[in-house]
Amino acid sequence: MSGQRRRPATRVLRSTLASLSRLDPDGLVPLYHRIKEDLTLQIRSGAWRPGQEIPSEVELCRHYGVSRGTLRQAIAELVQQGLISRHQGRGSFVSQPKLEGSVLGSYRQYRKEGAPFDVYAQVLRCERRPMPGEVRRILGTAEDEEVYEVERIRFVQGTPVSLQTSFIAARLCPGLETRDLSGAHLYDVLQREYGTVFLRAEEFVEPALADEYVAEQLQIAVSSPLFLVERHSHTFDDRVGEFRRAHVRGDLYRYRIDLR
Amino acid sequence: MSGQRRRPATRVLRSTLASLSRLDPDGLVPLYHRIKEDLTLQIRSGAWRPGQEIPSEVELCRHYGVSRGTLRQAIAELVQQGLISRHQGRGSFVSQPKLEGSVLGSYRQYRKEGAPFDVYAQVLRCERRPMPGEVRRILGTAEDEEVYEVERIRFVQGTPVSLQTSFIAARLCPGLETRDLSGAHLYDVLQREYGTVFLRAEEFVEPALADEYVAEQLQIAVSSPLFLVERHSHTFDDRVGEFRRAHVRGDLYRYRIDLR
DNA sequence: GAGTGGTCTAGACCACGTT
DNA sequence: ACGTGGTCTAGACCACTCA
């Protein structure tokens, strides 16, 4: 049946969406804003998963009891924020966050339009261990909680481009050491194997020099210029689920930033 | 008279705004999009200057012969792009671009909430000269055109934080060598003295090491990690009017990037 | 053909800032 | 009091996708 692919979203809607009167029984907050908050909650809470279709505009209008213009204003801002994508004639969907894709603004070389990259990772380490104090401050979890520490070298077309160490809360990925982590993106494994999805991340970038270990792994000279990139990735509930530190070759990558 | 402050915008409107029928005599381009393009043109062409008030929504509706909803959709996207800012009860204004402000995402130190920074620049060089070939490729101007080359050290609270060399097309700032360039932002001088405004810029960032010269100027050790930041700043007509190369101390700054 | 999102209209009332 | 932008409605027609 064709209905089966569309109805689920509707059922989710009925059961978990708040009614507007309950959201803020006519305070000063604009309608469209309250709706936006409620829709955001559906996504952040995990009730609506990435890729899933959300109810149509008309359905949502009926549910909230607002006009289409108001509803579209709410949706528009979510689209703007990248949480939702719309397709004329098809429907609206929760966006698939692609954190990996936007790590670095542009490649200096290795840029072949249209040609799919040959990208993979060599796993140096993957072990479950108690959480280092430094990491605990960032992940902000219980004292006795454990993490997986994963160290990988990323290769693009045979060339090592970055050396990354990730700390991932063990509750998000029990048994990670038994999984194949040589794919391009750790996030793919976490989503496929555990349903763990990261919605957003903060990245902090600074320049650094290659020490002996990093230089050897990345096959560059000691003291070569590198990007040191630290990343905090947030799960549904906005907690930090992964802390990552990466050394990225400065001779191969550069950031592009557009200012207005 | 109070009218004098508001009318000019209207007069500009009448004289330079295109009529919709002339923009694209009903092709497939949505109305709001054509309006957006036309408004953008007013700003890019310099007819509407930064800070200036633009005609009210009702006036623009009358001019274009569209409903308020449609017009607001056009304006909304310009606000989103940062070209226009709106203020309830006051009006809508062409944004003041502040390229300097967003150079680096965040400070590692020197961050004192609310306290105004003590920021100034020491001018090492400011001379008019023929354009180097490398720069001509970027500025894309006539072969015999000249540039000003300005080299400055930026200080924040007495500490040197970056060493910058700017190449600015001489047509944009004749007599620049006689001006005081010790203020925080070159862009302020160019706007105040010549009415030259940069609307947007691209920045390319890579990690680098301090050579002897840079190390001495920035009072750091040779081979300290630096950001090397190249910037192309675009004027009204979207031509590149300034090419800048800056070395920024990596121990004081880092970029913050938000990913979704 | 039925359902989706995309565009557009013509009204209304409100919140805010200026005069 | 007046003019600005902010919110909201109830309709209409269109472009696109999919069955």
CATH of the domain at B106: 3.40.1410.10
Q: Are residues B159 and B44 in the same domain?
A: no
Sign of the alpha-carbon dihedral angle for A99, A100, A103, A107: negative
CB A235 within 8 Å of CB A172: yes
pLDDT band at B159 (very low <50, low <70, confident <90, very high): confident
Note the CA–C1' distance, B72 to D5, in angstroms: 10
pLDDT band at B81 (very low <50, low <70, confident <90, very high): confident
pLDDT over 80 (residue B18): no
Placement of tokens 């894709």 in the chain: A101
CB B67 within 8 Å of CB B75: no
pLDDT at position B152, please?
Answer: 96
pLDDT at position A180, please?
Answer: 93
Placement of tokens 């213009």 in the chain: A69
Q: What are the φ/ψ torsions at residue A136 (nearest 5 degrees)?
A: -65, -35
The answer to which of A54-68, B160-174, B194-208 has the lowest mean pLDDT is: B194-208
In a domain, B51, yes or no: yes
Note the CA–C1' distance, A17 to D13, in angstroms: 31
State how far the Cα of B241 lies from the Cα of B169, in Å rounded to an integer: 6
pLDDT at position B208, please?
Answer: 96
In a domain, A153, yes or no: yes
List CB contacts of A75: < 8 A, sequence separation 6 or more: A39, A57, A84, A86, A92
State how far the Cα of B85 lies from the Cα of B52, in Å rounded to an integer: 11
Half-sphere exposure of B112 (CA within 13 A, CB side): 7
List CB contacts of B124: < 8 A, sequence separation 6 or more: B151, B152, B153, B217
The answer to which of B203-207, B211-215, B244-248 has the lowest mean pLDDT is: B203-207
Between B8 and A191, the more confident residue is A191
Q: Are residues B131 and B66 in the same domain?
A: no
pLDDT tens digits, one per residue of A93-107: 998 776 554 445 444
In a domain, A260, yes or no: no
pLDDT at position A32, please?
Answer: 95
Residue A73: closest C-alpha in chain B: B73
Query: Reading across the β-sheet that carries B84-87, which strands appear in turn?
Result: B53-54, B91-94, B84-87
Q: Are residues B232 and B153 in the same domain?
A: yes
Cβ burial of A146 (10 Å; 0-12, 13-18, 19+) is middle
Between A246 and A157, the more confident residue is A246
Residue B104 touches chain A, beta carbons under 8 Å: no
DSSP B17: P
A82, A207, A258: residue with CB nearest B208: A207
Residue B226 touches chain A, beta carbons under 8 Å: yes
pLDDT at position B46, please?
Answer: 80
- The domain total for chain B is 2
pLDDT at position B97, please?
Answer: 73
Between B124 and B202, the more confident residue is B124
User: Which residue lies nearest C5, CA-to-C1' measured?
Assistant: A88
- Considering B47, B67, B94, which residue would you say is the last residue of a domain? B94
Residue A67 touches chain B, beta carbons under 8 Å: no
CB B244 within 8 Å of CB B166: yes
Q: Are residues B172 and B240 in the same domain?
A: yes
Between A253 and B23, the more confident residue is A253
In a domain, B259, yes or no: no
3-state helix, strand, coil split of chain B in percent (to 5) is 35, 35, 35
B56 CB less than 7 Å from any atom of strand C: no
Chain mean pLDDT for chain B: 82
Query: Which residues in chain A, range 65-84, keep a C-beta under 7 Å from any nucleic strand C atom?
Result: 68-69, 72
Q: Are residues A230 and A132 in the same domain?
A: yes
Q: Are residues B66 and B134 in the same domain?
A: no
Query: Which among A105, A129, A75, A97 has a CA at the least distance from the CA of A199?
Result: A97
Q: Are residues B48 and B151 in the same domain?
A: no
In a domain, B195, yes or no: yes
Q: Are residues A37 and A125 in the same domain?
A: no
Nucleotides of strand C under 7 angstroms from a protein beta carbon:
3-12, 15-19
The answer to which of A188-202, B3-17, B31-45, B180-194 has the lowest mean pLDDT is: B3-17
All residues of chain B having their beta carbon less than 8 Å from the beta carbon of residue A260 are 81-83, 97, 99, 199-200
CB B182 within 8 Å of CB B189: no
Average pLDDT of span A70-91: 94
- Considering B94, B113, B148, which residue would you say is the last residue of a domain? B94
pLDDT at position A27, please?
Answer: 56
B204, B253, B256: residue with CB nearest A254: B204
Residue B205: closest C-alpha in chain A: A255
Q: Could you tell me how far CA B92 lies from the centroid of its own chain?
A: 19
pLDDT at position B260, please?
Answer: 73
Collapsing DSSP to helix, strand or coil, A73 comes out as: helix
In a domain, A161, yes or no: yes
In a domain, A259, yes or no: no
Greatest Cα pair distance, chain B, in angstroms, is 64
pLDDT at position A20, please?
Answer: 55
The answer to which of A156-165, B73-82, B136-145, B231-240 has the lowest mean pLDDT is: B136-145
pLDDT over 80 (residue A184): no
pLDDT over 50 (residue A2): no
In a domain, A85, yes or no: yes
Q: Are residues B8 and B127 in the same domain?
A: no
All residues of chain A having their beta carbon less than 8 Å from the beta carbon of residue B81 are 260
Note the CA–C1' distance, A211 to C5, in angstroms: 54
- Considering A94, A116, A140, which residue would you say is the last residue of a domain? A94
Note the CA–C1' distance, B68 to D1, in angstroms: 23
Q: Which CATH number does the domain housing residue B80 bear?
A: 1.10.10.10
pLDDT at position A191, please?
Answer: 85
Residue from B99, B198, B211, B257 to probe the interface with A (highest A Cβ count within 10 Å): B257
Range of the domain at B83: 3-94
Q: Are residues A136 and A220 in the same domain?
A: yes
pLDDT over 70 (residue B26): no
Cα separations (Å) of B162 from B23, B159, B165, B216, B227?
46, 9, 10, 12, 9
Q: Are residues B70 and B132 in the same domain?
A: no
pLDDT band at A28 (very low <50, low <70, confident <90, very high): confident
Residue B166: other Cβ atoms inside 10 A: 20
pTM, two decimal places: 0.76
Residue B111 touches chain A, beta carbons under 8 Å: no
pLDDT at position A102, please?
Answer: 41
Residue A146's DSSP bridge partners are: A130
The answer to which of A68-77, A244-253, B85-94 has the lowest mean pLDDT is: A244-253
Q: Are residues B119 and B145 in the same domain?
A: yes
pLDDT band at B1 (very low <50, low <70, confident <90, very high): very low
B3 CB less than 7 Å from any atom of strand C: no
Query: Which among A93, A137, A128 has a CA at the least distance from the CA of A230?
Result: A137
The answer to which of A129-138, A194-203, B106-115 has the lowest mean pLDDT is: B106-115
